[in-house]
A and B are shown apart, each in its own frame.
Chain A
Amino acid sequence: MKTGFVLRNVEFKNRVLVASGTFGYGDETRDLVDVAKLGGIVTKSLSWKPRDGNPPPRIAETPSGMLNSIGLANIGVHAFIEKKLPYLRTLDTRIIVNIAASSVQEYCDVLALLESQNGIHGFEINVSCPNVKEGGLSFGTNCDLTAEITSRLRALTDKPLIIKLTPNVTHIGQFAVAVKEAGADAVSVINTVIGMAVNAKTRKPKISTVTGGLSGPAIKPIALAKVYEVAQSVDIPIFGIGGITNAEDAIEFLLVGASAVQVGTANFIDPRTGVSVAEGIESFARDQALGDVGDLVGTLKAKKDMSVLQSWL
């Protein structure tokens, strides 16, 4: 049974990674999770300088989901290299470093510095975090800017370059086309969906930034539709993300066109979820007598001409 896949020049042992911001820097769960059974770890978004993040409350539970406004709190790329990377290097899995920044130049500076380090297998670019006032939202919802970041970063690295797209745009497929043309190797779909929660008794928003990013099972239908749209629009690999809690969820993403998946919020309930998803996909494929998990990718039985995408493609 073939479980792995290759992206650019890097081989992943299976198609399940853990998503940025939901698995810390990889060392917090060392006693709980056998990360060697994961395809890879995507780190918390890193910026040039450490970021404090937003004031509390930063999280609120919602029906089958959660809202967050972490504000990209992170230790900064220098502390990451000094304190976290040495441990990550010892792990038998792929390390994808996620980058967030508030200017195009900052994206370039962070990537260039990381490029000089050993033990990093690829980069995922967060252009889409809806939480940060300066940065995130403005890049990821502007197609030209997203493409510009992609081409500037492409010039700096030969490693896999993955652009993580926001669902908070009208036509995510157009963004996928733009970043592909700018040199991206893959896209991650989706980041959190803008949402809001209100406490009726206190008349206050439940998180300090009023609106925040919705994640978890509640967003899975949205994520599936976005992955499907992107898969119809471009032919580069897609990391499907959004509400995955078990193997069946993940397989749905593969069917609609994702080449691999990332597990996010489910890590908060059990950080071993990614491992059980990987194992579950493998046994599903074995039960279906497939030689390669990749045989599932994009095999949804749907009438393409019924697709809503027709209206703009």
Chain B
Amino acid sequence: MIIRDVEVRNVQEVARGIFVLSFVSLELSGSTLPGQFINVLVQKGHEPLLRRPFSVYRVEEETVEIIFNVVGKGTVLLAAKKRGDIINILGPLGIPFGTGGSFRNAILIAGGLGIAPMPILAEHLRKNGKHIEVFAGARSGDQLALDHLENTHIATDDGSRGYHGTVVALAEQYLREHPLSEAKIFACGPIRMLAAVSAYAESVTIPCELSLEGEMACGIGICQGCPVERLDGATRYALVCTEGPTFDSTTIILRGA
């Protein structure tokens, strides 16, 4: 885990309102695993006060990429960064996805910006010799960011591209028609989508890992600000930042779904 000022290399709008920001950090590019995140201080000063967490999207040689949706103060500022600007990053943080293990087929399900950890995940899965199918959903076709992914199946809420409906419904339909044995599901996206994925995975007894988002102040386990309810365990809550953000779907309860 490091805290560093890093230099922005590039910021690019890759889909409507969705930006990829790359920066230079050999330390991070060499050590980050799929599903891990970084906590970004978008500028010095008190506005906004806290860091913003983002999944690592891709690493390539000495550069690291994040992908984000412009939703508020922090992401507006990030989208306006130029080559050579300095941002401060803390990371890599959190528990990565389990990319090893005995499964042969990996099912990646992403809703909206849940696409963020998928390219780095797919790369590690490929290296581990796994077959990959990607299901990506968005509100509409112009909000899809599908670069660096293969075998993609698309769903949009408005039907403007691919399957008209939810990405989980699409995945269920596809997998019913093309069953995959020895599979494992990896999902990231809005809480309702994760709850649907989790229920589906349970119904077909496929192991499933979810990557959660939620409010965070520190990202490193010192504020107790990011609880998620455990299904069972010694304590009622787990911390998303240090015990997640990736969780086995059978170990947590998704509230607000």
Contact = CB atoms under 8 A, between A and B. Distances in A.
Tell whether A and B belong to one assembly.
yes
Contacts of A265: 49, 217
B120 to A, nearest CB: 22
Nearest to A245: B46
B137 to A, nearest CB: 23
Interface in B12-66: 41, 46-51
Contacts of B255: 55-56
Interface residues of B, number: 32
Interface residues of A, number: 36
B218 A268 contact: yes
Contact of A24 (B3, B215, B222, B235): B222
B222 A31 contact: no
The A interface, classified by DSSP as helix, strand, loop or mixed, is loop
A68 B223 CA distance: 9
Interface string B83-126: 00000101000000000000000000000000000000000000
Contact of A271 (B2, B47, B220, B225): B220
Contact of B220 (A29, A44, A50, A55): A29
A216 B48 CA distance: 12
Interface stretch (A58-66, A85-93, A142-150, A164-172): A58-66
Interface string B218-246: 10111111111100000111000010000
B48 A61 contact: yes
A22 interface: yes
B221 A24 contact: yes
Nearest to A60: B215
A55 B214 CA distance: 13
Nearest to B229: A55
Interface in A86-105: none
A61 B227 contact: no
Given A23-B222, A29-B220, A32-B1, A56 B227 contact: yes
Contacts of B2: 32
Given A58-B215, A68-B217, A22 B49 contact: no
A68 B220 contact: no
Contacts of A59: 215-217, 223, 225-226
Interface in A24-81: 24, 28-29, 31-32, 44, 50, 52-53, 55-61, 63-66, 68, 70, 73
16 contacts: A24-B221, A32-B220, A52-B235, A53-B237, A56-B227, A58-B226, A59-B225, A66-B49, A68-B217, A70-B224, A267-B218, A268-B217, A268-B223, A270-B88, A271-B222, A272-B3
| Top-4 shortest CB links A-B | A24-B222, A52-B236, A59-B225, A268-B218
Interface of B: 1-3, 41, 46-51, 88, 90, 214-218, 220-229, 235-237, 242, 255
Interface of A: 21-24, 28-29, 31-32, 44, 50, 52-53, 55-61, 63-66, 68, 70, 73, 216-217, 245, 265, 267-272
Given A22-B223, A44-B224, A59-B223, 7 more contacts: A22-B222, A52-B235, A53-B227, A57-B214, A57-B215, A64-B47, A73-B227
